[in-house]
Chain A
């Protein structure tokens, strides 16, 4: 905006900075310092206990020839590419179903949200049991109901990621809640008007629900990507990155380097590469958003 700003625009700008001032202050105090520290570490040999030694871009050079770096990137991308779209689709469908006039609505919502609420080691250990190829209920049910011999799940290089994807679907309650909140904001008049015009359910879904939900969908898409790239606890507790590196998630590899291999510098370099990847992806999605995201508040931006 090269034009000179009038007094109204200046006032709006002032209020903008006023409103976001809590975040700016918090950022400067709590966030910026540590982030720049980690950038600094990425150029050092740092074992956490003794002070960092500057080594320039050695860590970054090492990264590109490290087979475990590529492996962890592959593992994480595979997981993300499948779990994010699947999770969004599933939670959206269920949210729409739940948004009907259904009896026991509050109960259903609570049931779906329950898995997200239970946290900690108990859940991971629970799922280890469920996925056990010889004694777990999943293979037991697969055999009893469908006569399928289930795979070795967490003990199989091919099936460990699908297993973790299935586990992630158990926790879609969070997204369901967000979509429900979004669906609340769609004015019923729109649906009524469409019905008068003869639209069926599918049309209504495509032309009203999706566009009106698109800002929220953008949110869950971006957060889905960011979160799926930072999966850590499941791998740490359930598989330790195995078998044979098949579940070596990127952040697990970072953690190992930071706290188990005394290589915080290398871990920091790994983190910054991850950051760059996610930044590029997010920027691309945002760039594309005018094509498919519809804001009620669109004005000249």
Chain B
């Protein structure tokens, strides 16, 4: 009787005691620091995080009155974490468009500092000329610079050179101005690369995979889904598809893309693509001959049994070349308590020596043209192209590009959700391109209106 009561009390005391004793660190409220504490919100990427940790350690040791701390969250939770911190009044000092919201989304909500004055103050250190113009554009909001590019990705045609050799096909050109390199030619090559190797009736090797989003293929076929000023940071009022030129361009693009899967059969179906992508980046699996998309197709360890190549994106229509550039500018929170110290860290991360290390550790290109050679050197161990060819293909990639609409179009993610859902039936072969496009225009315009209403327009 009494024993049972006693037992319960002892248990309670034990628990509370153990909880109190075991983790003083865990229970201590964060104390106010003497030094300036700068927090960086980073996504949990197995490549980026170890390198970032090194940089932070190095910076902290050379800047004794600043402590930089990284908060690392999984990619999917980056935005919820970012917004929660903002809502509670404790934003991270440094953040970026690491997930779905773009720097324009942030700028319209007045979340990031305009860094022009800071850049002017530290002109020599930052050396703003040593950034690709398109990358700087990709960090500019209505004429104001909202961050400095730290990570960079470009678009090109990436291919499995070994598969080309096996099929006896010449490698695609690295010359972005070669007019003989057309979409039709690409499809032709793709057909030669599509094979049923073991004769079981199922395709084992696909010639081509187009990884571009809708707005990008609209660009490629000479049209545009949005008015030009939208990309400068002005919220769209409607899709620009009521202009016939734009409409036809996207319609053709959609049809061509659907044909890859259903007519020419050189691209995997959504089901097959899903399985391929679960295994790894499609190009790396060796199951796809060519990919047009961001250069993450060749990030990280490449399987040793293949060789790879980079080529120019072909002309879908004569005279038009417009591909995505993916710039990730580091933004400083407007309400940061330590903006100057945060700026020090930003300067550090975009400085050439640090960028050089970043290239070496991750195999990614830098936003600084002066470091192009480092990048070329880094990837030559598995790329068949010569140095001149790589230089040529990179020049084209940074010349004929425009910043990713995900970063520059206000409320992009919602629009993308709608147009992705609306085009599902097209890729699944259930509906035709025109039907899908017409429905999509209506729905996306509605979504645009809702976006406008959310900022009180």
Contact = CB atoms under 8 A, between A and B. Distances in A.
- Are any A and B Cβ atoms less than 8 Å apart in their complex? yes
Interface in A229-265: 236, 240-245, 256, 259-263
A45 B454 contact: yes
A280 B100 CA distance: 37
A38 to B, nearest CB: 13
B86 A49 contact: yes
B271 A133 contact: yes
Contact of A259 (B80, B411, B424): B80
A47 B450 contact: no
Contacts, number: 88
A192 interface: no
B263 interface: no
Interface residues of B, number: 37
B455 interface: yes
Contacts of B428: 152, 155-156, 243
B456 to A, nearest CB: 6
A197 to B, nearest CB: 39
Nearest to A129: B278
B353 interface: no
A261 B420 contact: no
B425 interface: yes
B441 to A, nearest CB: 15
Contact of B271 (A62, A132, A157, A242): A132
B425 A243 contact: yes
B109 A260 contact: no
Contact of A49 (B83, B421, B422): B83
B456 A262 contact: no
A49 B79 contact: no
B123 to A, nearest CB: 32
Interface string B74-107: 0010011001101100000000000011000100
Majority secondary structure, B binding face:
helix
Contact of A260 (B272, B275, B413, B425): B413
A32 B83 CA distance: 22
B127 interface: no
A52 to B, nearest CB: 10
A202 interface: no
B374 to A, nearest CB: 35
A48 B86 contact: yes
A155 B270 contact: yes
B444 to A, nearest CB: 13
A245 B278 contact: no
Nearest to B77: A259
A57 to B, nearest CB: 14
B180 interface: no
B66 interface: no
A49 B454 CA distance: 12
Contact of A135 (B80, B101, B275, B421): B275
A297 interface: no
A260 B274 CA distance: 23
B421 A245 contact: yes
A34 to B, nearest CB: 12
B110 interface: yes
A53 interface: yes
Given A242-B420, A259-B80, A263-B450, A50 B275 contact: no
Given A241-B417, A242-B421, A244-B422, A134 B278 contact: no
A232 to B, nearest CB: 12
Interface residues of A, number: 33
A22 to B, nearest CB: 13
Nearest to B276: A135
A259 B454 contact: no
B423 to A, nearest CB: 9
B83 A125 contact: no
Contacts of B414: 256, 260-261
Contacts of A45: 453-454, 456
A86 interface: no
Interface in A283-299: none
A49 B455 contact: no
Contacts of B105: 262
Contacts of A134: 202, 269, 271-272, 275
A263 B105 CA distance: 13
A122 to B, nearest CB: 12
Contact of B79 (A62, A152, A260): A260
A239 to B, nearest CB: 10
Nearest to B78: A259
Contacts of A240: 417, 420
B355 to A, nearest CB: 30
A47 B269 contact: no
A129 B274 CA distance: 9
Contacts of B272: 134-135
A133 B417 CA distance: 24
B204 to A, nearest CB: 12
A167 interface: no
A163 interface: no
A227 B364 CA distance: 44
A47 B100 CA distance: 15
A40 to B, nearest CB: 14
B74 to A, nearest CB: 9
Interface in A122-176: 125, 128-129, 132-136, 152, 155-157
B411 A47 contact: no
Interface string B348-387: 0000000000000000000000000000000000000000
Given A135-B275, A260-B413, A47 B454 contact: yes
- Enumerate the 10 nearest inter-chain pairs by beta-carbon distance, A residue then B residue, closest first: A243-B424, A261-B414, A48-B83, A244-B424, A259-B80, A49-B109, A49-B86, A133-B271, A135-B275, A134-B271
Interface of A: 45, 47-50, 53, 62, 125, 128-129, 132-136, 152, 155-157, 236, 240-245, 256, 259-263, 266
Interface of B: 76, 79-80, 83-84, 86-87, 100-101, 105, 109-111, 202, 269-272, 274-275, 278, 411, 413-414, 417, 420-422, 424-425, 428, 450-451, 453-456
14 contacts: A48-B87, A53-B456, A128-B274, A128-B278, A129-B278, A134-B271, A152-B271, A155-B271, A240-B417, A242-B424, A244-B421, A261-B450, A261-B451, A262-B101
Given A260-B79, A260-B101, A261-B413, 19 more contacts: A45-B454, A49-B83, A50-B110, A53-B456, A125-B278, A128-B278, A152-B428, A240-B420, A241-B417, A242-B420, A242-B424, A243-B424, A244-B424, A244-B425, A261-B414, A261-B450, A261-B451, A261-B454, A262-B451
